[in-house]
């Protein structure tokens, strides 16, 4: 009896070895990214790529989201991890990654394959070094929009936000939409997530100011506006949001926020969450971000997302196959099919995104997908990372009311001068 059992076990073991051996015949390409299990476009691009490349399997390496992403990635790459491809979450990380020498130079691949780099409205230039060599390719290009809850506007009998509002008009609209009592039937006119980008980055939409120019008085209007709206009870306060850790996605989906300035990445998430029944209202709409006086209508800011090949990858050709596909026309289609804006510019991308099931049907929302100008949230610069930390810390200082707006801006100017003067 024992003998039989032993033989049976051996047979099972041998069989399992055999099956593993068979499975590994497919080439596995490891791609470091974030929120791998909850991001619709990652599933869509994986499925489409594997369909056209049956011999390759994409395996996502899920790193933490938010600002922790680059921390974890840097540690991984410095430790010599052999992940094949990694996503460059923010262009502001490019200088540090270049300095690390973590990315494979792509010039030879681009030349050999005749890859067209002129399809990205200039965003590809974010991924070159000072000499103009490519080290990554953009595949996503997000910009900021104004989301709104159509149910709340219908209920209040107020006209939807339009694509040509100024910030003052937006503030008035937010006031008009605010009603009810806290904890009972409160409706907030708008919502500022606790990021610096959601509160004050709007100053760069004029195309003149940038976050690393060392002069921050241009942000004053936006801090003042956000604080005024907080004081009037039009939006939740920064302090409450920080202390409770409320996520903008959950907040908006709960249905008590009328408007939300946020990046285009939320479109696909909202659509997916609504299918899952997690959105507590029927329809959302999109409008272009309001503009400041004297700034052209339809200007916004944004940031591309790119992918690079790890210098330590053992299968760089395969990695190139994936990143060039992902950034090209095919990849663009896969991204657009779930409502994500690809970096690859083609006329029908907006059409494809607008045709996604669950995308708002009105003309205004469709038009909001075509901003007139998109400026970089944070420009690519060797000091970008340090300056961003400073602006983030002082934004935190200002919005938590530890210092006045003027003091905070003076701090920014002073601290930035120190970094820039190095």
Partner 1 sequence: MTASPAAKRKPGKLTRRNTWIAYSFLAPNFLGFFCFTLIPVLFSVALAFLTWNGGSMSRITFAGFGNFATIFKNFNFAKTDLGITLRNTVYYTFFTVPLTIALALALALALNRAGRGAKALRAVFFFPYVSSIVAICMCWRFMMMKTGLINQALAVVGISVNASWTQDKNLAIWSIILVSMWRNAGYYMVMYLAGLQGVPAELYEAATMDGANGWQKFWKVTFPMLTPTTFFVSVMMVINCFKIYDMVAIMTEGGPGRATKMLVNYIYDMSFVSPKYGVASAVAMVLFAIVLTVTVIQFRAEKKWVNYM
User: Which candidate, 58, 69, 110, places its Cα nearest to that of 93?
Assistant: 69
Pick the closer one to partner 1 by CB: 251 or 331. 251
* Near partner 1 in 2-41, by CB under 8 A: none
- On the CB side of 269, CA atoms within 13 Å amount to 16
* Residue 225: C-alpha distances to residues 164, 169, 292 (Å): 18, 12, 12
Q: By CB under 8 A, which span of 110-118, 157-165, 237-245, 333-341 interacts with partner 1?
A: 237-245
Pick the closer one to partner 1 by CB: 70 or 204. 70
Q: By CB under 8 A, which span of 32-40, 263-271, 272-280, 390-398 interacts with partner 1?
A: 390-398
Minimal distance, residue 69 CB to partner 1, in Å: 11
Q: Alpha-carbon distance 273 to 265, whole Å? A: 13
| Residue 240-259 contact track with partner 1, rule CB under 8 A, x = bound | x-xxxx--------------
Do 141 and 88 form a contact (C-beta atoms < 8 A)? no
Among 297, 345, 373, 403, binds partner 1 (CB under 8 A): 403
Q: Does 418 bind partner 1 (CB under 8 A)?
A: yes
Among 38, 82, 247, 389, binds partner 1 (CB under 8 A): 389
Within 192-296, where are the H helices?
196-199, 220-231, 238-244, 248-253, 265-275
Q: How far apart are the first and last CA of the chain?
A: 79
Pick the closer one to partner 1 by CB: 406 or 418. 418
Per-residue H/E/C for 363-402: HHHHHHCCCCEEEECCCCCCCHHHHHHHHHHHHHHHHCCC
Q: Does 396 bind partner 1 (CB under 8 A)?
A: yes
Q: Alpha-carbon distance 278 to 253, whole Å? A: 7
**How many of the chain's residues bind partner 1 (CB under 8 A)?**
35
Among 400, 410, 413, 420, binds partner 1 (CB under 8 A): 400
DSSP 288: E
Q: Does 74 bind partner 1 (CB under 8 A)?
A: yes
List of residues contacting partner 1 (CB under 8 A): 67, 70-71, 74-75, 77-78, 80, 96, 99-102, 238-240, 242-245, 385-386, 389, 393-394, 396-397, 400-403, 408, 411, 414, 418
């Amino acid at each position: 009896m024992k003998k039989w059992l032993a033989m049976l076990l051996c047979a099972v073991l041998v069989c399992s070895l055999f099956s593993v051996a068979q499975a590994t015949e497919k080439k596995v390409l490891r791609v470091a990214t974030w929120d791998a299990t909850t991001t619709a476009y990652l599933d869509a691009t994986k499925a489409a790529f594997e369909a056209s490349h049956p011999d390759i399997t994409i395996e996502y390496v899920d790193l933490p989201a938010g600002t922790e992403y680059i921390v974890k990635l840097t540690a991984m790459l410095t430790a010599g991890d052999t992940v094949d491809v990694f996503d460059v979450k923010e262009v502001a990380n490019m200088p540090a990654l270049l300095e690390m020498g973590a990315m494979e130079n792509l010039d030879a691949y681009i030349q050999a394959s005749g890859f067209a780099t002129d399809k990205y409205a200039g965003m590809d230039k974010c991924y070159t070094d000072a000499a103009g060599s490519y080290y990554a390719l953009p595949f996503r290009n997000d910009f900021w929009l104004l989301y709104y809850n159509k149910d709340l506007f219908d209920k209040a009998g107020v006209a939807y936000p339009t694509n040509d509002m100024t910030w003052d008009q937006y503030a008035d609209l937010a006031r008009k939409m605010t009603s009810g009592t806290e904890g009972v039937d409160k409706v907030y006119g708008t919502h500022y997530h606790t990021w610096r980008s959601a509160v004050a980055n709007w100053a760069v939409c004029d195309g003149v100011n940038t976050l690393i120019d060392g002069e921050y008085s241009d942000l004053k209007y936006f801090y003042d506006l956000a604080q005024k709206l907080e004081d009037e009870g039009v939006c939740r306060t920064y302090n409450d949001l920080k202390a409770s850790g409320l996520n903008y996605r959950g907040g908006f989906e709960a249905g008590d926020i009328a408007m939300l300035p946020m990046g285009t990445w939320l479109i696909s998430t909202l659509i997916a969450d609504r299918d899952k029944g997690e959105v507590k209202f029927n329809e959302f709409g999109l409008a272009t971000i309001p503009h400041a006086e004297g700034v052209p209508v339809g200007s916004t800011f944004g940031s591309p997302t790119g992918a690079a090949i790890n210098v330590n990858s053992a299968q760089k050709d395969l990695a190139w196959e994936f990143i060039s596909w992902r950034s090209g026309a095919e990849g663009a289609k896969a991204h657009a099919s779930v409502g994500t804006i690809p970096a690859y510019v083609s006329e029908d991308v907006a059409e494809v995104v607008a045709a996604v099931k669950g995308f708002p049907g009105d003309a205004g929302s469709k038009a909001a997908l075509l901003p007139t100008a998109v400026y970089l949230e944070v420009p690519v610069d060797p000091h970008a990372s340090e300056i961003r930390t400073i602006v983030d810390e002082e934004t935190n200082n200002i919005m938590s009311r530890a210092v006045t707006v003027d003091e905070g801006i003076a701090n920014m100017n002073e601290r930035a001068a120190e970094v820039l003067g190095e």
